[in-house]
Amino acid sequence: MTGTEFSIFNIFTMLGGLAFFLYGMNVMSTGLEKLTGGKLEVALKKMTSNKFMAIILGMVVTIAIQSSSAMTVMLVGFVNSGLMALEETIAVCFGSNIGTTFTAWILCLSDIKGSSDGGALHFLTELMKPEAFSPLIALIGIVMIMGCKKNKHKDIGRIMVGFAVLMTGMTLMSQAMAPLKDSPEFQEKLTAFKNPILGVIVGAGFTGIIQSSAGAIGILMTFSGGSLTYGMALPIIMGCNIGTCVTALLSTFGVSKDAKRVAWIHILVKIIGTIVLLPIILLLQNFTGFGDIMNESVGYVGIAVMHTVFNVATTIMFLPFTSLLVKLSHIVVRDKKGGEVEVEENRLRGLDERFLKTPAVAVETCRSTTIEMANITSESINDALELLISGYDEEKVKSVIDAEDLIDHYEDKINSYLVRLSKSSVTGKDSRRVSKMMHCVGNFERISDHAVNLIESVQECKEKGIKFSDECINELKVITEAISENISIAFNAYITDDLAAAHKVEPLEEVVDNLSTELKNRHIRRLQNDECTVELGYIFQDILTNLERISDHCSNIAGCLIETDEKTNIHAYLHDVKENDETFRREYRGYSERYFARLDAAIEQEK
């Protein structure tokens, strides 16, 4: 057996090269996704109203994550979560289809031919070959991963290593297939692909199996340079574009109808595009001079050009008819009989498992859900505080109780999702965000529990036919105003990541504690003077205890933000700030003077 003969070992090498290729693609896309920190993906939700901007953004994100399938799965998740409408995803899909062709152009580097003049041009062209520059890129990447301290630089290193592995895999596949280019037997069998239907089927089937159109296009490139013509390669390329939709289709199990339609629109664009464009190409090939071009041997660049032209052509073809694509998707994925539209009852659709494959997106959507939880909690506790002053109201009592049940559900689902997310490969910044969410959702839930405790005190007064004196109500007005302000500051600090606001929570929390102590002392004096009953005294004590606990949880939320972002021990921070920080003392004096002045004014008013 000579060195140019094709054997079983060539097949082993080709499969190994494919493994390197797919692994390198995965490493590179993971590094790129981390480097962007999910900013591009999150921008999809904000820039989809303009079709052309959506196309550009779809291209950019797909180039960044190096996978149109991952992009489609992400869009399925967005629609299933209610974060995007079905119509908003179509232009993004078009951009993604164009963006995925970028990989084919990168692979064209493998086909660079060296100059024979032996001079500087020869050196440059040789240096541009993957077998020459891939080891250097891999070395630089490894040095960055092992030597750099910043995660951003490590991610750049991983991108470089992934790219080097990808190009090494492409080189291995090309070398393994090289003997076939000179094999008459193989070239004879290759003529079977003159049947365009067979080409589409083979391209779609193979791509569906490996679930990577880039991998399939890469293998197709290794067969170029021999008897493979433009006319043979084009149907295979079209089939590759159809086959890559398998991943998106698999992601639609257990999702809403509209989410399924996202994947089906992706598939329909590829299939209809092939059905329309392939006959046109065949007609031009058989009845015009275009046939001479299609019968020429195709190279790497030719395959990349056809891959790009097909996706650009389908975009131009379907862009004016996006509304028809939506209607067509409704025919393929029908609503329930009788025209009943599916109603999504789960308010936590944002916590979609599909986002776990792109951790930065999962972090962002989970944060959006925790903000929604915080807003529900804020509304619930403010309703409870209002009931303390205004008295029993059936509708508001029911609202607080229902909110507490919903918030319990939020906590359970968010914590479960965060545990799974924390096991993913997240950046240092996203890891801190996950940590803050884990700590804060528990405090939101405990605040809602105290809201229920407060309305139970209101209910007890109603059932027993007793009520607080006007003096007591005026005192409660002052402390509930302080609590409401602290809730607003702490929750806004979390929602906006405002550390300056977080630093204002603890001074006000100290004032709340002092107000509570003062109100307890005043109530004891009322009991001693027979101005209040023991029964009301117990209820009043319970209310003050719950108000203190609410303020404590506000302090916990602010403390978590400070500890995580400023990387300090919160207990040491609190001790130091209370003893030595002039800003803390100034804030404390301001809050104290304001609320104790209100308290004194309320008492004077009663006199």
Banded pLDDT at 263 (limits 50, 70, 90):
confident
| Ranges 149-153, 204-208, 482-486: which has the least confidence | 149-153
Label residues 193-212 b or e (16+ Cβ within 10 Å = b): beebeebbbbbbebbbebbb
Q: Is the pLDDT of residue 40 over 60?
A: no
Q: Counting Cβ atoms within 10 Å, is residue 551 exposed (0-12), middle (13-18) or buried (19+)?
A: buried
Task: Tell me which H or E stretch contains 240.
Answer: helix 230-243
CA distance linking residue 98 with residue 51, whole number of Å: 14
Q: Angle at CA 520, nearest 5°, toward 481 and 543?
A: 55
CA distance linking residue 471 with residue 278, whole number of Å: 85
pLDDT at 576: 67
Best CATH choice for the domain 470-607 from the list 3.80.10.10, 1.20.58.220, 3.10.580.10, 3.40.225.10: 1.20.58.220
Mean pLDDT of 486-507: 91
Q: Is the pLDDT of residue 65 over 80?
A: no
pLDDT at 544: 92
pLDDT at 487: 95
Q: Is the pLDDT of residue 2 over 60?
A: no
CA distance linking residue 112 with residue 119, whole number of Å: 16
Neighbours of 49 (CB within 10 A): 9
Banded pLDDT at 570 (limits 50, 70, 90):
low
% of the chain exceeding 90 in pLDDT: 21
pLDDT at 341: 39
Q: Is the pLDDT of residue 392 over 70?
A: yes
Q: Is the pLDDT of residue 346 over 60?
A: no
| Closest listed residue to residue 587, CA positions, set 469, 506, 483, 484 | 506
Q: How many helices (H) and strands (E) does the chain have?
A: 27, 0
Helices 534-566 and 470-496: angle between axes, nearest 10 degrees: 20
Two domains, one topology: 351-465 and 470-607: yes
Residue 197: which residues within 8 A CB-CB, separation 6 or more?
235
pLDDT: which is higher, 292 or 83: 292
Q: Is the pLDDT of residue 114 over 80?
A: no
Q: Counting Cβ atoms within 10 Å, is residue 153 exposed (0-12), middle (13-18) or buried (19+)?
A: middle
| Closest listed residue to residue 144, CA positions, set 134, 154, 131, 136 | 154
Cα-flanking dihedrals φ and ψ of residue 297, to 5°?
-65, 135
pLDDT at 238: 92
Q: Is the pLDDT of residue 154 over 90?
A: no
3-state secondary structure 157-187: HHHHHHHHHHHHHHHHHHHHHHHHHCCHHHH
Model pTM score? 0.67
Q: Is the pLDDT of residue 108 over 60?
A: yes
pLDDT at 314: 93
pLDDT: which is higher, 219 or 513: 513
Banded pLDDT at 365 (limits 50, 70, 90):
confident
Banded pLDDT at 41 (limits 50, 70, 90):
low
| Closest listed residue to residue 518, CA positions, set 437, 599, 412 | 599
pLDDT: which is higher, 476 or 74: 476
Q: Counting Cβ atoms within 10 Å, is residue 95 exposed (0-12), middle (13-18) or buried (19+)?
A: buried
CA distance linking residue 138 with residue 164, whole number of Å: 5
CA distance linking residue 123 with residue 491, whole number of Å: 62
CA distance linking residue 69 with residue 265, whole number of Å: 13
Q: Counting Cβ atoms within 10 Å, is residue 518 exposed (0-12), middle (13-18) or buried (19+)?
A: middle
Per the document, the length of the chain is 607
Find out whether 358 and 65 touch, Cβ atoms under 8 Å.
Answer: yes
Q: Which two tokens stand for residue 8?
A: 């079983």
pLDDT at 290: 72
Q: What is the DSSP string of 386-451?
A: HHHHH---HHHHHHHHHHHHHHHHHHHHHHHHHHHHHTS---HHHHHHHHHHHHHHHHHHHHHHHH
| Ranges 20-34, 277-291, 364-378, 578-592: which has the least confidence | 20-34
CA distance linking residue 276 with residue 317, whole number of Å: 10
Find out whether 6 and 186 touch, Cβ atoms under 8 Å.
Answer: yes
Residue 449: which residues within 8 A CB-CB, separation 6 or more?
404
Q: pLDDT tens for residues 513-557?
A: 999 999 888 888 887 777 777 788 888 889 999 999 999 999 999
Q: Is the pLDDT of residue 377 over 60?
A: yes
Mean pLDDT of 244-267: 80
Mean pLDDT of 146-152: 82
Rg of the chain (C-alpha set): 33
pLDDT at 88: 80
Query: Domain coordinates of the chain in residue numbers?
Result: 12-335, 351-465, 470-607
Question: Mean pLDDT across the chain, nearest whole number?
Answer: 81
Q: pLDDT tens for residues 157-173?
A: 888 888 888 778 877 77
Neighbours of 14 (CB within 10 A): 20
Does CATH place domain 351-465 in 3.30.70.20? no
Q: Is the pLDDT of residue 334 over 90?
A: no
Mean pLDDT of 502-513: 91
What SS3 state is found at 102?
Answer: helix
Residue 34: which residues within 8 A CB-CB, separation 6 or more?
151, 155, 158, 360, 425, 426, 427
